[in-house]
Amino acid sequence: MQTINPPWNRRLRMALIGGGGSAFIGPVHVAAATLDRRADLTATVLSSDPDRSRQSAAAFGIAPDRAYGSVGELIEVESQRDPDSRIDFVTIATPNHTHFEMARAALEAGFHVVCEKPLTTDMHQADQLTALVEQTGLVFAVAYGYSGYPMIRQIRDMVRGGELGTVDAVRVSYIQGGLRRMRPDEMPTRAAWKLDPNQAGPSGVMADIGTHAFHLLRYTTDLQPMEISCHLATYHPVRPMEDYGHAVLRCMEGEMATLTVSQVTHGRLNDIALEIDGSTGSMVWQHEQPERAIVRRHGQPVQVYESNRRAEYLGDAFRASSRLPGGHPEGFFEALANIYRGAFDDMLRRAAGQAAEAAGTTYPCVADGCEGMRFVEACLASCRTNGWWQPY
Amino acid sequence: MQTINPPWNRRLRMALIGGGGSAFIGPVHVAAATLDRRADLTATVLSSDPDRSRQSAAAFGIAPDRAYGSVGELIEVESQRDPDSRIDFVTIATPNHTHFEMARAALEAGFHVVCEKPLTTDMHQADQLTALVEQTGLVFAVAYGYSGYPMIRQIRDMVRGGELGTVDAVRVSYIQGGLRRMRPDEMPTRAAWKLDPNQAGPSGVMADIGTHAFHLLRYTTDLQPMEISCHLATYHPVRPMEDYGHAVLRCMEGEMATLTVSQVTHGRLNDIALEIDGSTGSMVWQHEQPERAIVRRHGQPVQVYESNRRAEYLGDAFRASSRLPGGHPEGFFEALANIYRGAFDDMLRRAAGQAAEAAGTTYPCVADGCEGMRFVEACLASCRTNGWWQPY
Amino acid sequence: MQTINPPWNRRLRMALIGGGGSAFIGPVHVAAATLDRRADLTATVLSSDPDRSRQSAAAFGIAPDRAYGSVGELIEVESQRDPDSRIDFVTIATPNHTHFEMARAALEAGFHVVCEKPLTTDMHQADQLTALVEQTGLVFAVAYGYSGYPMIRQIRDMVRGGELGTVDAVRVSYIQGGLRRMRPDEMPTRAAWKLDPNQAGPSGVMADIGTHAFHLLRYTTDLQPMEISCHLATYHPVRPMEDYGHAVLRCMEGEMATLTVSQVTHGRLNDIALEIDGSTGSMVWQHEQPERAIVRRHGQPVQVYESNRRAEYLGDAFRASSRLPGGHPEGFFEALANIYRGAFDDMLRRAAGQAAEAAGTTYPCVADGCEGMRFVEACLASCRTNGWWQPY
Amino acid sequence: MQTINPPWNRRLRMALIGGGGSAFIGPVHVAAATLDRRADLTATVLSSDPDRSRQSAAAFGIAPDRAYGSVGELIEVESQRDPDSRIDFVTIATPNHTHFEMARAALEAGFHVVCEKPLTTDMHQADQLTALVEQTGLVFAVAYGYSGYPMIRQIRDMVRGGELGTVDAVRVSYIQGGLRRMRPDEMPTRAAWKLDPNQAGPSGVMADIGTHAFHLLRYTTDLQPMEISCHLATYHPVRPMEDYGHAVLRCMEGEMATLTVSQVTHGRLNDIALEIDGSTGSMVWQHEQPERAIVRRHGQPVQVYESNRRAEYLGDAFRASSRLPGGHPEGFFEALANIYRGAFDDMLRRAAGQAAEAAGTTYPCVADGCEGMRFVEACLASCRTNGWWQPY
């Protein structure tokens, strides 16, 4: 008899840290985590202001005794709870500069972690978290949600499985425009921290969305970056950090990858494009139509792969992450839900005494978060040296 | 302090009827109903076979005492439960021929109903349900999920608000290909009933997807069909009912609408297109890109409306049904969740002693289900008279 | 040694009738006819006003002695010229009601004819032209230019060659919006006749663009229409003829075709869509991207055929009508030039004493023009009988 | 009375050099030059083999006395002809390494020149041609055909007219795949020289298509490149020159432009994309749909500009280069014909004793050709220094 979440046969208990008030990211994490009804939201810390944190919990349906005022309180109280009611994992959806301390505290208290990107604000913190994950054996997922799209997983399997031959070149771009018109004082409250280097870290667009683009590049191909040449620019007049960036990556086997990110391209919403050139075929994926991949081979009709669970030409990784029949659009909730699904599977494997084998495959793990930080630091270093190559 | 579901301040309790086993529709309804965490699945009847019905419930995380073997049992037991634990509504996701009896039983027992389309298999049953809804004052939603897309709601408000001037002509098509190759014996078990007139009713494609197309036409415009000329065809060699259909609708003010449906167009997944011609503008929406609407006015650049909660050019109906920032694709789950959201609002209004004002606006109601049956019967009648006009 | 136009080894001499002044159609015909440098413009009758006709000729580079004031004069003088300088064919690009007399006069004088569509304003005239063409053995091409696109010819060969299996259903639409805002007095001079039944004939949109759509349907498939049910509407307040139309066609083997035309859809330029459903595949072509065809087969990736002369998957008919390497857009000039190319080939075959074998294949012939008139008359008759079936 | 080509009132006489045999480029230049019937092909040198050169001329309809065996012969004989029959200009469509000598000879003999790109194989030659053009006052056009698209001219006027505010960043890519599978010995004869550095020059893809991309960037914006960092790669195993390249351009006002070119991306035909980010709007143009431009402004619907001569929102530069009503696709022939049209206008201005004012505006001139060479040389120099900045 099939049940949910064997061996526990119950829903996992989630604590949400951050994402309250007008922030959209909290409800998104909750919806994604609970989409398959394998988890429920059990506890919250919704604000750095303890009173507001407690008051906001009712909107999430959280009882007062699980509506905590701070992460410290959450961890202290939950740690003392009976295993039958204690939370299983925390989701950290707070400004970047708080990720490290919160994640460390959660890991040290024995809770699995799902953490927003970028992992931390510097490499040193990232390395510490990596060590702690290894030491505790806990599951640590990083919310590179775009890697959860079923078609991205199809692409990964095709590319890594050699269906395009040897990969020669990759072009990835992530173009937004939302910040074009905003001065810091016009930013919605929930996003103001993104323009404050003390909260967001030293990098702007490269940390905020460049890490997503870099992860997609790394996730779908096996390119090993060797050195990076990066150019950053700030086009918005009153922006403290870069809002436009471009990096060239030289990889181990001579492959060239280029990565372009912008948050100042008028009217562009969230436009990620990934183009992969291989020796026997090429591929294009665009986030505006996440359920399609375009595959081309010289002299043949262009092939458009469309999400369709019944189509045999799509592989297991696709099917394992698709929830609806072909032609019923799935979107970002489902992509992020696939990250949670992968993390849950590993939490259960751990509960069953097995290895957490899915890390980096069905969910981005602490190592992927570290790579993102390494990429950002190499970009910043290259930019400081007028674009000269920096080792990755 | 904001809470969920005032005045009840608790999640609504859902019973799912049908949709177990390999059917995708059950999990879809549950995910949609619970996406906003305003409801939870409390009880199930997952199969017409009582044993299988009870055994399947664990996969949904349902405790044995709420895993019922039949609708009769569900209604009998739940009716006797304390209001603090009793289900609030049932979702009926069973073959067409069972909708009527199940819905009637649920209404008579005082439960709100969300019912799959087509509402029933004939008009007489539909009229009876309408009377019963009126009599009981209960909420009755019909799962015309496509009308839940935020951009469809934007279109409705624009068109009905006169932004295209007077509507002259509408073209709607719904093109699928999934049944092209299937003989009845090749149909997946879960869908075999769709080719059995005893279970699906006398109409094939027109009832199955034509009712969706017709509802979109009615929902987005205020066209009042007056008479219908319809042509049905069966192109698949061993199909008992029509698999292709076309209807011309003459409307009250001289408007012409055409509606084309197919389930035998190779490789087309679930392609709905809606084109509205008005005296001052025209509009196109396609389900393959549900977050866009294309608006054209003579002599001006084409305008592409894109889902974006922060864009002021999009109206309240859009914003009230969108959950993610622009550029983060939302899909079918969220559309169906919007139907549930509307129905929940009315359930709460009823609980607070108010009128169920959202019926037909934020969720399709029993009257919309009736209209679908009326449309199907007019189509069948016209087809029997060689396409002659039948009153609607 | 390859030459142009054997056995004549010289450019053909064209006379243009109509299309002067602000009309765009004259230069278009000249450019299309001369694109391959197999013809040159030799003589003109550019206006029904003899003086204006003669004066306009200089803009076409025509010497005064070939700048005629009327068709009568053109035919009389050219007929008396030496065969070494006499025109070979006339292109008729005048209002509909003049086609018949001009074409008859040209044929009777022994000149080949290229005639704009619709062929005439009634069936009787069309039949007379057919008889005259048969009698004279001259080449008569009708300017259904859209059938000249290389990809349309690829589609024709695929569909007629059985690559989609048995064709079951076809949907063709031709949607324009240009006339939406115009009152007759606002029409550009060159197009005013289109709103005058005395010049355009009894049908508006159905004759003007419906004949194009019908020809594409007939050209690409071998469907034999048996009876037609048609609905016409006039949405623009001061329009004398219909500006919107819809026809259902029942064909010999039970196939259903639907054809929708509009000239009142705001902002739509010249949007033709052709969808063909076959038993083993389906196909879509859209005029907005004339160099692509989309081919779908159940369970396989969507295939996009792209114009590319080097691609072996495209056939001879494609290659014979494409002039540029893949990725260099070709458009309407080239499509119409392909009609001329086909007609020229037959003119040369006639000069060599051979049969005019390409009629109806590489160029639409008088029979295709007749079919258009038959279609329009059946539509008008059906409309007069409230949409009842009329034999085709 | 309007005539063609005042003050000459006759068609211009063109000599085609190169482009015979299986090469497509010859007929393309002739069709483009003669599309408006302002020129005719009068003389040819179609091959470097004198006999083949003369024999091929008949296929172009050239009489034996104008079918020359070499450029030397062409220039010698034509120079001695009477001005009433002498050629007016030469079009050079030969391999790169011959451009310089042929162009110099033509200029020295007093003929206007239209020359294929890249202008020469090195900067020194390019400078000499520039001096010669200045000295002779003759018209010299470079066949950067893509800048002839009406929508590119619309974009140029909008961008340079400030409709996007200050331009901050530009991304241009030119992606082809045609050479992916070819070894030198598999190249079609007509293209084999492109893989021979002795004929094509030291650069492969950057000279062949990078110069087009660079010209589009320069033509549409007023960015002044200051320094260039470039990375070249050769992914095809037996290719002597680079087949993939990427350049970062730093411009005078801090703008950043990136330029990516490939001839090894499987199945991509001729895909140019131009993205311009300005302070008040952004713009995208793609060669696969050359008649559209996408304009975005924060918070507003996306605007799609579509070719339509009657649309008032499109400006004079658009209208002056469009030949067909909206919705009738125009393509590459017409784009190249617009280059010729601009050059012809200047030839006539020179004949009337006026300045050649259109150079660089309605046709790319020798200075634009020079810029292309300067760009290629900076790219090669940067690549040799491991991507370090080179002054432009």
State how far the Cα of B82 lies from the Cα of B105, in Å rounded to an integer.
19
Which one-letter amino acid corresponds to residue D6? P
Tokens 């201005």 found at: D349
State how far the Cα of C24 lies from the Cα of C46, in Å rounded to an integer.
12
* CB pair distance less than 8 Å for C329 and D287: yes
Per-residue pLDDT, B89 = 98
The yes-or-no verdict on residue C102 having pLDDT over 70 is yes
State how far the Cα of A85 lies from the Cα of A40, in Å rounded to an integer.
12
Name the token pair of B231. Answer: 């042509």
Distance from CA of D329 to the nearest CA of A (A): 22
User: What is the average per-residue pLDDT within C140-160?
Assistant: 98
State how far the Cα of A286 lies from the Cα of A180, in Å rounded to an integer.
22
- Kindly report the number of other CB atoms within 10 A of residue C132's CB atom: 18
Residue of C nearest to D306 (CA): C269
C18: helix, strand or coil: coil
pLDDT band (50, 70, 90) for residue D169:
very high
State how far the Cα of C239 lies from the Cα of D142, in Å rounded to an integer.
50
pLDDT band (50, 70, 90) for residue B46:
very high
Q: Taking a C-beta distance cutoff of 8 angstroms, is the pair B143, B30 a contact? A: no
Q: Taking a C-beta distance cutoff of 8 angstroms, is the pair B21, B192 a contact? A: no
The yes-or-no verdict on residue D275 having pLDDT over 60 is yes
Q: Taking a C-beta distance cutoff of 8 angstroms, is the pair A140, A100 a contact? A: no
H/E element holding D15?
Answer: strand D12-17
The yes-or-no verdict on residue B182 having pLDDT over 80 is no
pLDDT band (50, 70, 90) for residue D238:
confident
Directed axis angle between helix C150-160 and helix C211-220, to 10°? 50
Domains detected in chain A: 12-146+340-363 (3.40.50.720), 149-322+372-384 (3.30.360.10)
The yes-or-no verdict on residue C292 having pLDDT over 80 is yes
ipTM over 0.90: yes
Distance from CA of A163 to the nearest CA of C (A): 15
The yes-or-no verdict on residue B356 having pLDDT over 90 is no
Question: DSSP state, B296?
Answer: E
Tokens 């989630």 found at: A14
Strands D302-306 and A256-262: unpaired
State how far the Cα of B304 lies from the Cα of D296, in Å rounded to an integer.
10
Mention every residue, 6+ apart, whose C-beta is less than 8 A from residue C83.
Answer: none
Spell out which residues of chain B touch residue A148, defining contact as CB-CB under 8 Å: none
Q: Taking a C-beta distance cutoff of 8 angstroms, is the pair C26, C93 a contact? A: yes
DSSP C283-352: EEEETTSTTEEEEE-TTS-EEEEE--TT-TTS-HHHHTT--S-TTS---HHHHHHHHHHHHHHHHHHHHT
Q: Taking a C-beta distance cutoff of 8 angstroms, is the pair C241, C200 a contact? A: yes
Torsion of CA A311, A312, A313, A318, to 10 degrees: 70
> Which of D25, D289, D324 to mutate against chain C (most C CBs within 10 Å)?
D324
Distance from CA of D30 to the nearest CA of C (A): 9
For residue B4, give the nearest of A59, A268, A310 by CB distance. Answer: A59
Per-residue pLDDT, C24 = 84
Give residue-wise pLDDT tens across range B64-115: 999 999 999 999 999 999 999 999 999 999 999 999 999 999 999 999 999 9
* CB pair distance less than 8 Å for A268 and D262: no
Residue of C nearest to A313 (CA): C300
The yes-or-no verdict on residue C97 having pLDDT over 60 is yes
For residue C1, give the nearest of D30, D58, D271 by CB distance. Answer: D58
Counted across chains B and C, CB pairs separated by less than 8 A come out at 130
| Closest CA relative to residue A80, chosen from A58, A111, A102 | A111
Per-residue pLDDT, D178 = 87
**Tally of CA atoms within 13 A in the half-sphere of A180 that contains its CB:** 27
Instruction: List strands edge to edge, sheet with A140-142.
Output: A39-45, A12-17, A89-92, A112-115, A140-142
Counted across chains A and B, CB pairs separated by less than 8 A come out at 133
State how far the Cα of B105 lies from the Cα of C189, in Å rounded to an integer.
69
For residue D268, give the nearest of A246, A260, A282 by CB distance. Answer: A282
Backbone angles phi, psi at C168, to 5 degrees: -105, -45
- Kindly report the number of other CB atoms within 10 A of residue C2's CB atom: 9
Spell out which residues of chain C touch residue A318, defining contact as CB-CB under 8 Å: none
State how far the Cα of A205 lies from the Cα of A214, in Å rounded to an integer.
12
* CB pair distance less than 8 Å for C300 and A310: no
Buried b (16+ CB within 10 A) or exposed e, D9-27: eebbbbbbbbbbeebbbbb
**CA-based Rg of chain C, rounded to a whole angstrom?**
21
Question: DSSP state, D230?
Answer: E
For residue D303, give the nearest of B301, B310, B311 by CB distance. Answer: B301
H-type alpha helices, C35-174: 50-56, 71-80, 96-108, 123-136, 150-160
C6: helix, strand or coil: coil
Per-residue pLDDT, D185 = 63
Q: Which has more confidence, A363 or B181?
A: A363
Give residue-wise pLDDT tens across range C234-249: 998 878 899 999 999 9
For residue A256, give the nearest of D244, D282, D388 by CB distance. Answer: D244
State how far the Cα of D270 lies from the Cα of A63, in Å rounded to an integer.
61
Give residue-wise pLDDT tens across range C253-279: 999 999 999 999 999 999 999 999 999
The yes-or-no verdict on residue D91 having pLDDT over 80 is yes
Spell out which residues of chain C touch residue D35, defining contact as CB-CB under 8 Å: 31, 35, 333
The yes-or-no verdict on residue C182 having pLDDT over 70 is no
Spell out which residues of chain D touch residue A386, defining contact as CB-CB under 8 Å: 389
Mention every residue, 6+ apart, whose C-beta is less than 8 A from residue A286.
Answer: A271, A272, A273, A274, A292
Spell out which residues of chain B touch residue A35, defining contact as CB-CB under 8 Å: 31, 35, 333
For residue D304, give the nearest of B302, B312, B313 by CB distance. Answer: B302
Q: Taking a C-beta distance cutoff of 8 angstroms, is the pair C271, C278 a contact? A: no
Handedness of CA D312, D313, D316, D321 (dihedral sign): negative
| Closest CA relative to residue A336, chosen from A14, A16, A33 | A33
Q: Which residues pair with D13 in a beta bridge?
A: D40
For residue D59, give the nearest of C4, C10, C324 by CB distance. Answer: C4
Mean pLDDT of chain D, nearest integer: 95
> Which of C5, C30, C37 to mutate against chain D (most D CBs within 10 Å)?
C37
Question: DSSP state, A116?
Answer: P
Q: Which residues pair with B302 in a beta bridge?
A: D304
Question: DSSP state, A155?
Answer: H
Percent residues over pLDDT 90 in chain D: 91
Directed axis angle between helix C366-384 and helix C123-136, to 10°? 170
User: What is the average per-residue pLDDT within B19-40?
Assistant: 92
Structure pTM?
0.97
Distance from CA of D43 to the nearest CA of C (A): 14
pLDDT band (50, 70, 90) for residue D89:
very high
Q: Taking a C-beta distance cutoff of 8 angstroms, is the pair D340, D39 a contact? A: yes
Distance from CA of B382 to the nearest CA of A (A): 30
User: What is the average per-residue pLDDT within B199-211?
Assistant: 96
| Closest CA relative to residue A70, chosen from A46, A92, A101 | A46
Tokens 């084999």 found at: D192
pLDDT band (50, 70, 90) for residue B189:
low
> Which of D159, D173, D180 to mutate against chain A (most A CBs within 10 Å)?
D180
Distance from CA of C158 to the nearest CA of A (A): 14
State how far the Cα of A106 lies from the Cα of A34, in Å rounded to an integer.
20
Q: Which has more confidence, C47 or D181?
A: C47
Spell out which residues of chain D touch residue A284, defining contact as CB-CB under 8 Å: none
A7 preceded by cis ω (within 30°)? yes
C365: helix, strand or coil: strand
The yes-or-no verdict on residue B184 having pLDDT over 60 is no
Cα D284 to Cα A5, A177, A228, D221, D280: the distances in Å are 48, 14, 28, 13, 14
Low-confidence ranges of chain A (pLDDT < 70): 1, 182-190
> Which of D302, D308, D313 to mutate against chain B (most B CBs within 10 Å)?
D302
Looking at chain D, how many residues does it have? 392
Q: Which has more confidence, C310 or A343?
A: A343
Instruction: List strands edge to edge, sheet with D39-45.
Output: D39-45, D12-17, D89-92, D112-115, D140-142
The yes-or-no verdict on residue D197 having pLDDT over 70 is yes
DSSP A269-286: -SEEEEEEEESS-EEEEE
Counted across chains C and D, CB pairs separated by less than 8 A come out at 133
Per-residue pLDDT, A228 = 98
User: What is the average per-residue pLDDT within C106-118?
Assistant: 98
* CB pair distance less than 8 Å for D235 and A168: yes
The yes-or-no verdict on residue B254 having pLDDT over 80 is yes
| Neighbour subunits, D (≥3 Cβ pairs < 8 A) | A, B, C
Tokens 């009708």 found at: C142
Spell out which residues of chain C touch residue A295, defining contact as CB-CB under 8 Å: 301
Cα A253 to Cα A167, A217, A256, A267, B61: the distances in Å are 10, 15, 9, 37, 49
* CB pair distance less than 8 Å for D1 and C34: no
The yes-or-no verdict on residue C175 having pLDDT over 80 is yes
For residue D231, give the nearest of A256, A275, A297 by CB distance. Answer: A256
pLDDT band (50, 70, 90) for residue D188:
low
Name the token pair of B334. Answer: 């969220």
For residue A229, give the nearest of D296, D299, D387 by CB distance. Answer: D387
Per-residue pLDDT, B183 = 59
Strands C225-233 and C390-391: antiparallel
Name the token pair of C94. Answer: 């005048």
User: What is the average per-residue pLDDT within C168-172?
Assistant: 98
